[in-house]
């Protein structure tokens, strides 16, 4: 069986582009293959769509994640069959944990070609489902537009979802009905539930020691001020979830600590609380299980209240609670900038320089891992900024996140705080930064090891690493030259190995537009 | 709930290592994470196991593929939870299409920790199944050894399979019974089916035009000579499957053409055949469906005979057929080496230099894509060598394949013929080559575009690429500096832009041990 192509401008692929654009999805991060060639040809006919090439699919979906977190709307992606999707999954996983809206379009073989089991054939649905809130295989060229609108709606519904459309090549090249592109049926986030609001208000007044754990849009400046007012009025403690898609912080904003990552610190941070109130956050859980340690840092017997689910209007829920408890809006306490550091370059002197020089409206994309554990403390007084974390624990989120955030927010400086080991998973993002001339400063923390794992190995009681452990956890033989790596992909770069040297380079980078990488030897 | 750790040396992770070693699996390609730390600690106690770190999981499974194709036995891999597995899937897909034996060990959360849905939690089974012939979640520390033996057996059974074991952290750290490691129940490949042999023998004598399409172990030197004898005796034409895991060729061996990749060439290659005989090969299928073109190059009405399935003993089947048709063993026709090329560096002058200087016993790992379409012609007379292809169409196979082949075959020169676009997906393999001091020469064909896709775009009838297509298919802005990229990861490198310059560099690299990269500007 074969199938004939529709006329250029009237194919399923054209309907796909038209539907995306009609629903305000106008950026497409792409790594195409043969089965997507009609989609590429259709994109070529729509100059309103900004197409951004990633040289590896993890860059594509990680950038779509960073873009949507900052733009507040989904980007599309273009991925090539099962293996292309597979490469994209780790950063889809991170995006899913951040509730990021995303519309992935995965090209597949022509529907009649699938039974032949050609070499690239695979079970795309099985691959997509674990990392997608919505998966739909397009059934015909006529189905392209409604399916795309459905995906956009599913992606955009609060709190946001990763969606995957599978587009068989024959439905991309087939003739589509010439009708207006389908519009996504959007839905506003749910209003606060008065019963929950009054139950939480009552709990906050019962004298028990209470922690309020927040995530999502509860971590924007306005909502944080409201939450601080509630805390001031009731004596509750505020915390952010351990990892969050986006948090507004810095000068003029309320500083909130996160529940720590390390198990013992997390347990200590929640110790003694008798009540926990969740505002768009998940019930706190330890990142990994450890022998003889609990799975959650929440103390035994601590009572849980949910003020609002991630899909609710979190700022409105906090407003309602504030009014119920008679809270005012808090004025944030001004945090001081740290004094300059001198001498050795280490996690603290790095943090000091970053804290001092972060410019107004910067976007920090944080995959600093061990080096960055204490960065919040040194940046609480920095100029107002957004802080984006790698939310799902999948390594290789940082560089792509920064790429996408910079595309979403021209005119804002993006700072990628990046562990060296993690940087290698998606180093190809550097090329996209150069290609798109993005205003990103990448800071590589080059400790030349998987420091987090060396710590965990110690925790296992295995003693000092021997030959095999050493060869799996140390990256110093050979050392990676990140300056050359950046230059190989067209990104200017320099190296620092003292506190003063790093501060100088970082301060200069903050004032100079365009991509730049600093390898910080620590 | 929590769980206590067993004593070092007596954990599930120790049982895993012991079982692998007891079954002759003594290389582990790894990219570990926290949930695998007890496995790492156990590997550290077994110096007989060679642990090879990949800085990205696609390197890990691609290297395991190259290793097993050359070693004839599986390697183990160590992958970190769902996202780590996801990064590994594309090269598992290639390995699956090559019938490569592989034992992937994917660490997961402690079993009692899973219901907490910690950030890294995902549906590992759903991710693993599309690219694995066997998936098994280990149920307890006592289950580790039998499950591992089962996986090794499933991997090793002819023709070989990709297998995935999911190892929950508590079963890795839990105390395992101190019993002898389980032995894998191996099974020899199936003997030739006499009915099939006589049916094929009869068909070969009926005067109809017949093509014999081979793959797997039918492409080793001895089997190829047998096949050529059959062809000489019966007038049949020999072809290799379009893409094959390993093929022995060069001087002293029978040269066989593959069914071509491009649709029109594939149709032309099989035109006029009335009968097709499959020897471990799949029925020929076009790589992609195209509007108005068939899904298979096999002519309508052509009758199909299966001499042997991939799981059969293919050399024995060819022997049986040879004796049935009264064939002798053919002497291969000696092919001449091409004359040296001068002037411009292009696909042909590259092929000439490679063909002339390929040393005895070289292992060629071919991800040359468009540049390499005609390389077979120029290397038929080269010194005897093995030729490994990227079998599943998943991009990024070449560099990792070369890495694994070099680990399997110390003392043999590995040559990676590598398209530039594809190289970027798994460029991290360069670091492993440097770390392990592997004898690999990587030749990058730097045309600075996705040439295959520009060809396909033309085929779509989209005319000249406009802005969006151009930005998705050209890699020249900025050009990637592969010399710097290699040097950044500790691999020496040089650039050539003339036929003579390339021939010099390549000839020297063939005589110098250790990793080296040549960027060939074409």
Q: Which segments within B309-452 are labelled E, that is strand?
A: 362-367, 385-389, 414-419, 440-446
Inter-chain contact A5–B461, Cβ cutoff 8 Å? yes
Inter-chain contact B489–A480, Cβ cutoff 8 Å? yes
Does B347-521 carry CATH code 3.40.50.2300?
Answer: no
Residue in the structure block whose two tokens are 């593929």: B65
Rounded distance, CA A393 to CA A399, Å?
14
Tokens of A212: 């309020």
Rounded distance, CA A54 to CA A69, Å?
18
Tokens of A410: 């021209």
Interface residue of B7, B50, B87 to substitute, partner A, most A CBs within 10 Å: B87
CA distance A116 to chain B (A): 7
Report the side by side order of strands in the sheet with B134-137: B50-53, B27-30, B76-80, B102-108, B162-168, B134-137
Pick from B51, B97, B485: CB nearest A471:
B51
Report pLDDT for A374. Answer: 86
Closest chain B residue by Cα to residue A8: B462
Tokens of B309: 């399935």
Domain boundaries, chain B: 12-173, 194-325, 347-521
Vertex A116 angle, CA A113 and A117, to 5°: 105
Burial B40-70 (b: 16+ CB within 10 A, else e): bbbbbbbeebbbbbbbbbbbbbbbbbbbbbb
Chain A neighbors of B396, CB-CB under 8 A: 56, 87
**What 3-state class would DSSP assign to A294?**
coil
Give the DSSP H or E segment for A82.
helix A81-97
Inter-chain contact B56–A489, Cβ cutoff 8 Å? no
Interface residue of A11, A83, A97, A106 to substitute, partner B, most B CBs within 10 Å: A83
Percent of chain A with pLDDT over 70: 99
Closest chain A residue by Cα to residue B35: A288
CA distances to A210, A352, A501, B71 from A194, in Å: 20, 44, 55, 67
CA count, 13 A, side-chain hemisphere, A41: 29
Is the sign of the CA dihedral B76, B78, B81, B85 positive or negative? Answer: negative
Pick from B119, B286, B471: CB nearest A118:
B286
Inter-chain contact A130–B122, Cβ cutoff 8 Å? yes
C-alpha B513: how far from chain center: 23
CA distances to A522, B87, B202 from A425, in Å: 20, 9, 55
Whether A101 contacts A61, CB under 8 Å = no
Spell out, as residue ranges, where chain B has pLDDT lower than 70: 1-2
**What 3-state class would DSSP assign to B173?**
helix
Q: For residue B225, which phi and psi values (nearest 5 degrees)?
A: -65, -40
**What 3-state class would DSSP assign to A178?**
coil
Report pLDDT for A418. Answer: 98
Start-to-end Cα distance in chain B: 61
Rounded distance, CA B15 to CA B10, Å?
7
CA distances to B25, B160, B194 from B189, in Å: 20, 10, 15
Closest chain A residue by Cα to residue B98: A119
Chain B neighbors of A457, CB-CB under 8 A: 37, 40-41
Closest CA to A515 of A454, A429, A451, A452: A429
CA distance A327 to chain B (A): 33
Inter-chain contact A82–B475, Cβ cutoff 8 Å? no
CB atoms within 10 A of CB A187: 11
Chain A neighbors of B37, CB-CB under 8 A: 453, 456-457, 459-460, 462
Pick from B113, B282, B487: CB nearest A295:
B113
Chain B neighbors of A5, CB-CB under 8 A: 291-292, 460-461
Chain B neighbors of A281, CB-CB under 8 A: none
**What 3-state class would DSSP assign to B52?**
strand
Alpha-carbon Rg for chain A in angstroms: 24
Residue in the structure block whose two tokens are 């969740």: A278
Chain A neighbors of B431, CB-CB under 8 A: 424, 478, 480
Outline where A342-498 has alpha helix (H): 347-357, 375-379, 398-408, 420-423, 429-435, 451-459, 467-473, 482-488
Vertex A403 angle, CA A398 and A404, to 5°: 100
A247, A250, A253, A258: CA torsion to nearest 10: 50
Inter-chain contact B86–A109, Cβ cutoff 8 Å? no
Chain B neighbors of A3, CB-CB under 8 A: 289, 291-292
CA distances to A244, A452, B487 from A478, in Å: 34, 20, 10
Inter-chain contact A394–B489, Cβ cutoff 8 Å? no
User: How many contacts does A have with B, using Cβ atoms within 8 A?
Assistant: 371
CA distance A237 to chain B (A): 23
**B258 bridge partner residues:** B240
A146-155 tens-digit pLDDT: 999 999 999 9
Tokens of B8: 């070092």
Inter-chain contact A477–B289, Cβ cutoff 8 Å? no
CA distance A128 to chain B (A): 8
Interface residue of A44, A457, A491, A515 to substitute, partner B, most B CBs within 10 Å: A44
Chain A neighbors of B450, CB-CB under 8 A: 32
Whether B428 contacts B447, CB under 8 Å = no
Chain B neighbors of A2, CB-CB under 8 A: 289-295
Rounded distance, CA A117 to CA B93, Å?
13
Whether A222 contacts A287, CB under 8 Å = no
Closest chain A residue by Cα to residue B422: A55
Closest chain B residue by Cα to residue A392: B119
Percent of chain A with pLDDT over 90: 93
Give the DSSP H or E segment for A51.
strand A50-53
Q: Domain B12-173 belongs to what topology? A: Rossmann fold (3.40.50)
SS3 letters across B212-227: EEECHHHHCHHHHHHH
Inter-chain contact A33–B453, Cβ cutoff 8 Å? yes
Chain B neighbors of A129, CB-CB under 8 A: 123, 126
Chain A neighbors of B32, CB-CB under 8 A: 450, 453, 472-473
Rounded distance, CA B367 to CA B243, Å?
11
Chain A neighbors of B4, CB-CB under 8 A: 291-292
Rounded distance, CA B3 to CA A375, Å?
33
CA distance B134 to chain A (A): 15
Start-to-end Cα distance in chain A: 61
Inter-chain contact B287–A34, Cβ cutoff 8 Å? yes
Is the sign of the CA dihedral A119, A125, A129, A133 positive or negative? Answer: positive
Q: What is the mean pLDDT of chain A?
A: 96
CA distance B514 to chain A (A): 14
Overall average pLDDT of the A48-66 stretch: 98
Tokens of A493: 């770069």
Chain A neighbors of B127, CB-CB under 8 A: 89, 126-127, 130
The model's confidence at residue A1, banded by pLDDT at 50, 70 and 90, is low
Chain A neighbors of B473, CB-CB under 8 A: 32, 40
**B443 bridge partner residues:** B417, B518
Report pLDDT for B1. Answer: 53
Rounded distance, CA A427 to CA B485, Å?
11
Q: What is the ipTM of this complex?
A: 0.97
Whether the domain at B12-173 and the domain at B347-521 fall into the same CATH topology: yes
Inter-chain contact B434–A478, Cβ cutoff 8 Å? yes
Confirm whether pTM is higher than 0.95: yes
**What 3-state class would DSSP assign to A36?**
helix
The per-residue DSSP string of A214-230 comes to: E-GGGGSHHHHHHHHHH
Pick from A38, A123, A457: CB nearest B37:
A457
**A284 bridge partner residues:** none
Chain A neighbors of B390, CB-CB under 8 A: none
Rounded distance, CA A410 to CA A405, Å?
9
CA distance A120 to chain B (A): 6
Report pLDDT for B416. Answer: 98
Provide the CATH number for the domain formed by B194-325 in this structure.
Answer: 3.40.50.1220
User: Is residue A2 over pLDDT 70?
Assistant: no
A237-290 tens-digit pLDDT: 999 999 999 999 999 999 999 999 999 999 999 999 999 999 999 999 999 999
C-alpha A123: how far from chain center: 27
CB atoms within 10 A of CB B475: 20
Q: For residue A53, which phi and psi values (nearest 5 degrees)?
A: -85, 135
Report pLDDT for B3. Answer: 77
CA distance B381 to chain A (A): 29
Inter-chain contact A473–B32, Cβ cutoff 8 Å? yes
Inter-chain contact B485–A488, Cβ cutoff 8 Å? yes
CA distance B378 to chain A (A): 26
Closest chain A residue by Cα to residue B169: A289
CB atoms within 10 A of CB A22: 17
Chain B neighbors of A466, CB-CB under 8 A: 44-45, 47
Burial A76-99 (b: 16+ CB within 10 A, else e): bbbbbbbbbbbbbbbbbbbbbbbb
Rounded distance, CA B238 to CA B362, Å?
24
């Amino acid at each position: 069986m074969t199938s004939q192509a529709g006329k250029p401008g009237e194919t399923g692929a054209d309907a796909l582009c038209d539907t995306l654009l009609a629903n305000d999805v106008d950026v497409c991060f792409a790594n195409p293959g043969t089965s997507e060639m009609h989609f590429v040809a259709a994109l070529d006919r729509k100059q309103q769509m900004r197409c951004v090439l990633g040289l590896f699919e993890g860059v594509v979906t990680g950038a779509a994640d960073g873009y949507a977190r900052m733009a507040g709307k989904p980007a599309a992606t273009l991925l090539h069959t099962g293996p292309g999707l597979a490469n994209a999954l780790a950063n889809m996983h991170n995006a899913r944990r951040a509730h990021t809206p995303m519309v992935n379009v995965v090209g597949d073989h022509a529907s009649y070609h699938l039974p032949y089991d050609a070499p690239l054939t695979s079970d795309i649905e099985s691959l997509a489902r674990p990392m997608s809130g919505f998966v739909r295989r397009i059934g015909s060229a006529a189905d392209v537009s409604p399916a795309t609108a459905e995906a956009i709606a599913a992606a955009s519904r609060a709190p946001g979802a990763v969606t995957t459309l599978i587009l068989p090549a024959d439905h991309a090249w087939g003739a589509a009905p010439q009708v207006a592109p389908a519009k996504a049926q959007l839905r506003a986030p749910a209003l606060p539930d008065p019963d929950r609001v009054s139950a939480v208000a009552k709990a906050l007044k019962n004298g028990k020691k209470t922690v309020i754990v927040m995530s999502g849009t509860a971590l924007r400046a306005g909502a944080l001020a409201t939450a601080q007012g509630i805390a001031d009025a009731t004596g509750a403690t505020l915390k952010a979830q351990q990892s969050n898609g986006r948090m507004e912080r810095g000068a003029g904003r309320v500083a909130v600590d996160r529940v720590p990552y390390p198990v013992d610190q997390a347990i200590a941070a929640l110790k003694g609380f008798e009540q926990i109130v969740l505002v768009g956050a998940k019930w706190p859980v330890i990142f990994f299980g450890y022998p003889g340690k609990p799975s959650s840092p929440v103390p035994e017997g601590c009572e849980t209240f949910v003020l609002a689910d991630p899909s609710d209007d979190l700022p409105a829920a906090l407003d309602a609670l504030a009014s119920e408890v008679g809270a005012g809006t808090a004025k944030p306490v001004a945090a001081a900038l740290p004094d300059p550091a001198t001498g050795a370059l280490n996690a603290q002197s790095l943090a000091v320089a970053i804290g001092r020089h972060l410019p107004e409206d910067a976007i920090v994309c944080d995959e600093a891992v061990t080096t960055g554990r204490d960065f919040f403390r040194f940046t609480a007084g920095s100029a107002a900024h957004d802080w984006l974390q790698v939310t799902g624990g999948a390594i290789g989120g940082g560089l792509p996140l920064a790429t996408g955030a910079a595309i979403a927010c021209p005119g804002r400086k993006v700072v990628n705080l990046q562990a060296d080991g993690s940087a290698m998973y998606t180093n190809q993002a550097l090329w996209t930064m150069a290609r798109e001339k993005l205003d990103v400063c990448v800071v590589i923390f080059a400790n030349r090891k998987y420091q987090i794992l060396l710590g965990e190995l110690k925790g296992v009681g295995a003693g000092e690493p021997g030959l095999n452990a050493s060869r799996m956890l140390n990256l110093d033989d050979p050392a990676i030259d990140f300056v050359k790596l950046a230059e190989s992909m067209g990104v200017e770069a320099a190296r620092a190995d003292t506190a003063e040297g790093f501060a100088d380079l970082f301060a200069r980078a903050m004032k100079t537009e365009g991509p730049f990488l600093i390898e910080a030897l620590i």
